[in-house]
Amino acid sequence: MKRSNLYALIAAAIAGTLVLPPVDAVAQDNPYRLEQGWAKYPAGRKWGSTSAVDVDREGNIWAFERCGARDCAESNLNPIFRFDRNGNVMTSFGAGLFVFPHGMTVDREGNVYATDAEGKGSKGHTVVKFSPQGKVLMTLGKAGVAGNSNELFNRPSAVAVAPNGDIYVADGHGGDSNARVIKFSKDGKFIRSFGKKGKGRGELDELHAIALDSQGRVFVGDRGNGLIKIFDGDGNLLDEWKQFGRPSGIFIDASDTLYVADHGSNAKINPGFKRGIRIGSAKDGMVRILIPGLGAEPDTQSVGEGVAADAAGNVYMAETGGMNVRKFVRK
pLDDT, tens digit, for every residue of 87-136? Answer: 999 999 999 999 999 999 999 999 999 999 999 999 999 999 999 999 99
Whole-number pLDDT of residue 24:
54
Per the CB < 8 A criterion, the answer to whether 36 and 327 are in contact is no
> How would DSSP label each residue in 31-71?
-EEE-TT--BPPTT-----EEEEEE-TTS-EEEEE-TTSS-
Return the DSSP state at 169: E
Q: Which secondary structure element, helix H or strand E, spans residue 12, and what is its range?
A: helix 3-15
Question: What are the tens digits of pLDDT across the range 149-196?
Answer: 999 999 999 999 999 999 999 999 999 999 999 999 999 999 999 999
For the chain, the helix, strand and coil percentages under 3-state DSSP, each to the nearest 5: 5, 40, 50
> Model confidence at 237, in pLDDT bands (50, 70, 90)?
very high
Strand partners, 31: none
Task: Tell me, rounded to whole angstroms, the distance of Cα 293 from its chain centroid.
Answer: 17
Strand partners, 275: none
20-330: which CATH number, 1.10.357.10, 3.40.30.10, 2.120.10.30, 3.30.70.1230?
Answer: 2.120.10.30
Q: Is pLDDT at 7 greater than 90 in this prediction?
A: no
Question: What are the tens digits of pLDDT across the range 49-80?
Answer: 999 999 999 999 999 999 999 999 999 999 99
SS3 252: strand
The structural domains of the chain, with segments of one domain joined by +, span: 20-330
Calculate Rg over the CA atoms of the chain: 19
SS3 29: coil
Q: Is pLDDT at 11 greater than 70 in this prediction?
A: no
CA distance 174 to 248: 12
Sign for the CA dihedral angle at 12, 224, 151, 100 comes to negative
Q: Which secondary structure element, helix H or strand E, spans residue 15, and what is its range?
A: helix 3-15
CB-CB neighbours of 217 under 10 Å: 17
Closest CA to 68 of 106, 101, 35: 101
> Model confidence at 316, in pLDDT bands (50, 70, 90)?
very high
Whole-number pLDDT of residue 260:
98
Q: Is pLDDT at 34 greater than 60 in this prediction?
A: yes
Whole-number pLDDT of residue 225:
97
CA distance 189 to 197: 24
Distances (CA, A) of 87 to 37, 155, 214, 314, 315: 9, 30, 28, 13, 13
Looking at per-residue confidence, does 165 or 12 come out higher?
165
Q: Residues with Cβ < 8 Å from 10, sequence gap 6 or more?
A: none
> Model confidence at 29, in pLDDT bands (50, 70, 90)?
confident
Q: Is pLDDT at 300 greater than 90 in this prediction?
A: no
Task: Tell me, rounded to whole angstroms, the distance of Cα 74 from its chain centroid.
Answer: 25
Q: Mean pLDDT for the chain?
A: 92
Q: What is the mean pLDDT of the segment spanning 26-37? A: 84
CA distance 242 to 91: 37
Distances (CA, A) of 286 to 56, 141, 164, 218, 311: 26, 37, 28, 17, 21
Closest CA to 308 of 162, 104, 124: 104
Return the DSSP state at 247: E
CA distance 252 to 120: 32
% pLDDT > 70, the chain? 92
CA distance 227 to 242: 5
